[in-house]
A and B are shown apart, each in its own frame.
Chain A
Amino acid sequence: MVINLFSWIKRLFKKKKKAKIGIYGPPNAGKTTLANRIVRDWSGDAMGPVSHIPHETRRARRREDVIIEANGTTVTLDIIDTPGLATKIDFHGFMACGMEEEEAKRRAKEATEGVIEAVKWLEDLDGVILVMDATEDPFTQVNVTVIGNMEARKLPLVIAANKIDVQTASPARIRGAFPQHPTIPISALEGINTDQLYKEIAKRFG
C-alpha cells in the first residue's frame, strides 16, 4: 500500500505532458505490426489487424495513455497507427491480391480516404515514428514528405528500420539516407531490438 502510494506520487511528478505520436511509413512497412507490439508490450492488448495486402489499415487507430518506461524515464503516449501515405492507389493492385473487381474498387476508395486521414493527422502530432522496410529503397517520396513536414515544424522523429529478420535488410542504407535522424534497426514481427527503440522513444518524446 505504502509502496503503491509512493510509486503513484512518483509517477504523478515524473509524468510529463502526453505526447501524440503517429506511426507513418509506406504501405506494408510494418506500421500496424509495430503498433501492436508497442501496445502489447506496454498495455497488454492489440491494436489492429496486420496483412500482407497493402492498405489493410484504412482508418487511423488511436490508443491513448500508453506508458513507456525506459532509461529511467516514463513517457505517456497516444499512439496513432495511421494508414500511412501514398501518392497513388490503383485498384488493379488489389485484384492482383485476389479480390473481385467491385471489392477491389471499394478497397481502393477506402484506401484513398485512409491516406487523407493520415495527412490530416500529420498536422496534429507531437512526434512521429517513421517505419521503413529495411529491405527496400529508403528514398521513397512519402518518407521524404513525412520527414520534411516534421523538420519544418521542428518536431521529433524516430526512424524504425524494420524487418531486419530478413536476410536482405539494410538498416545502414536508411541511416545513410537520413543521417540527421536516429535510426533503430528492429524486427517488429520478431521483437528484435525493440528495447533500443523504446529507449529512443523515451529520449525523444519524453
Chain B
Amino acid sequence: MSQNKNNSQTNIQLDFISEGKLAQMAPMEKIRMLLDEVRSGKIVVLERGLAPDEEAKLIEMTMTEIIPDEFSGIEIESYPIEQNTSFLRKILGKNTTKTRLTIIGPADQLKTIRKDRDMITAIVTK
C-alpha cells in the first residue's frame, strides 16, 4: 500500500489474484476488496473471475460508490463463462459452469480496445 503511494506518480500497480485466494473469501468480502483496490487506482487480474451473481453484485456496489469528478465506475472484462462438460461433475451435481480470467480497473484508467472470445486487448493510462 505505502509502496504504491510512493510510486503513484509514475507507476500503476497490478495485482494478480489466484483462484485459491478468492475461493477463501465470502462474496461481499471479495467485492469490497476489489472495489477498494480499484478505487485506490490499482488494476486487478483475477485468475478465475467472479461467479455471475457476484459480478452483478459488484456492478450494484460500484453504482453506489460513483462520485462526480472522483470515481466514475469500473472497467471490467472477462471471457464468457464456459460450460464444464465433465461427466463426473454432472453426475455429482457439481456446478457445471466455469468462470474465466477477469480484469478490473478504474473506468478512467483501464480501457478495453478489443475483445473477442479468446483475446482481450486493453490499455492502461495514468
Q: Could you tell me if B68 and A145 are in contact, using CB atoms closer than 8 angstroms?
A: no
- B residues in contact with A141, CB < 8 Å: 76-78
Chain B: how many interface residues by the 8 Å CB criterion?
A: 32
Partner of A88, one of B73, B78, B116: B73
- A residues in contact with B53, CB < 8 Å: 149, 152
Q: Could you tell me if A90 and B107 are in contact, using CB atoms closer than 8 angstroms?
A: yes
Q: Could you tell me if A147 and B80 are in contact, using CB atoms closer than 8 angstroms?
A: yes
Partner of A152, one of B51, B73, B80, B115: B51
Known: A89-B66, A152-B53. 19 other contacts (CB 8 A): A85-B59, A87-B74, A87-B107, A89-B72, A90-B73, A112-B66, A119-B60, A119-B63, A139-B115, A139-B116, A141-B77, A144-B81, A148-B55, A148-B97, A149-B53, A151-B52, A152-B52, A152-B97, A178-B80
Main secondary structure of the interface of A (DSSP, over half): helix
Q: Can you list 14 A-B pairs, Cβ within 8 angstroms, ordered by A? A: A87-B59, A88-B72, A88-B75, A90-B107, A105-B68, A112-B64, A113-B63, A115-B63, A116-B64, A119-B56, A137-B115, A139-B117, A141-B76, A142-B59
CB under 8 Å from chain A, chain B span 18-43 = none
Q: Could you tell me if A88 and B107 are in contact, using CB atoms closer than 8 angstroms?
A: yes
Q: Could you tell me if A145 and B74 are in contact, using CB atoms closer than 8 angstroms?
A: no
Q: Is B62 an interface residue (CB 8 A)?
A: yes
Contact A145:B55 (CB < 8 A) given known A90-B107, A112-B66: yes
Partner of B63, one of A89, A91, A152: A89
Q: Could you tell me if B81 and A88 are in contact, using CB atoms closer than 8 angstroms?
A: no
Q: Could you tell me if A91 and B76 are in contact, using CB atoms closer than 8 angstroms?
A: no
Alpha-carbon separation in the docked complex, A113 to B74 (Å): 16
Kindly list the 4 A-B residue pairs having the minimum CB-CB distance in the complex, ordered from nearest.
A88-B73, A148-B52, A88-B107, A90-B72
- A residues in contact with B64, CB < 8 Å: 112, 116
Q: Could you tell me if B74 and A88 are in contact, using CB atoms closer than 8 angstroms?
A: yes
| B interface residues (Cβ-Cβ under 8 A, vs A) | 51-53, 55-57, 59-60, 62-64, 66, 68, 72-81, 83, 97, 99, 107-108, 114-117
Alpha-carbon separation in the docked complex, A99 to B91 (Å): 57
Q: Is A122 an interface residue (CB 8 A)?
A: yes
Alpha-carbon separation in the docked complex, A140 to B75 (Å): 10
- B residues in contact with A86, CB < 8 Å: 59, 73
Tell me the nearest residue of chain A to B79, going by C-beta. A144
| A interface residues (Cβ-Cβ under 8 A, vs B) | 85-91, 105, 108, 112-113, 115-116, 119-120, 122, 137, 139-142, 144-145, 147-149, 151-152, 177-178, 180
Tell me the nearest residue of chain A to B102, going by C-beta. A141
Tell me the nearest residue of chain B to A93, going by C-beta. B72
Alpha-carbon separation in the docked complex, A180 to B107 (Å): 30
- A residues in contact with B68, CB < 8 Å: 91, 105, 108
- A residues in contact with B108, CB < 8 Å: 90
- A residues in contact with B76, CB < 8 Å: 87, 141
Alpha-carbon separation in the docked complex, A112 to B68 (Å): 12
Alpha-carbon separation in the docked complex, A68 to B21 (Å): 48
